[in-house]
Chains A and B, each alone.
Chain A
Amino acid sequence: GAGVSQSPRYKVAKRGQDVALRCDPISGHVSLFWYQQALGQGPEFLTYFQNEAQLDKSGLPSDRFFAERPEGSVSTLKIQRTQQEDSAVYLCASSFKEGNQPQHFGDGTRLSIL
Chain B
Amino acid sequence: GESVGLHLPTLSVQEGDNSIINCAYSNSASDYFIWYKQESGKGPQFIIDIRSNMDKRQGQRVTVLLNKTVKHLSLQIAATQPGDSAVYFCAEKEGSARQLTFGSGTQLTVLP
Query: Do residues A40 and B93 form an inter-chain contact, with CB atoms below 8 A?
Result: no
Q: Residue A42 contacts which of B3, B6, B41, B42 (CB distance < 8 angstroms)?
A: B3
Taking a contact as CB atoms under 8 Å apart, the answer to whether B98 and A55 are in contact is: yes
State the interface size on chain B (CB cutoff 8 A). 30
Query: A106 in the interface, Cβ–Cβ < 8 Å?
Result: yes
Q: Is the CB of B99 within 8 A of A91?
A: no
A56 vs B100: C-alpha distance in the bound complex, in angstroms? 13
Give CA–CA (A104, B44) in the complex, Å.
Answer: 8
Q: Across the two chains, which residue of chain B brings its CB closest to A110?
A: B41
B4 lies within 8 A of A91 (CB): no
| Residues of chain B contacted by A42 (CB below 8 angstroms) | 1, 3, 89, 91, 102-105
Residues of chain A at the chain B interface (Cβ within 8 Å): 4, 6, 31, 33, 35, 39-45, 48, 55-56, 59, 91, 93, 98, 100, 102-108
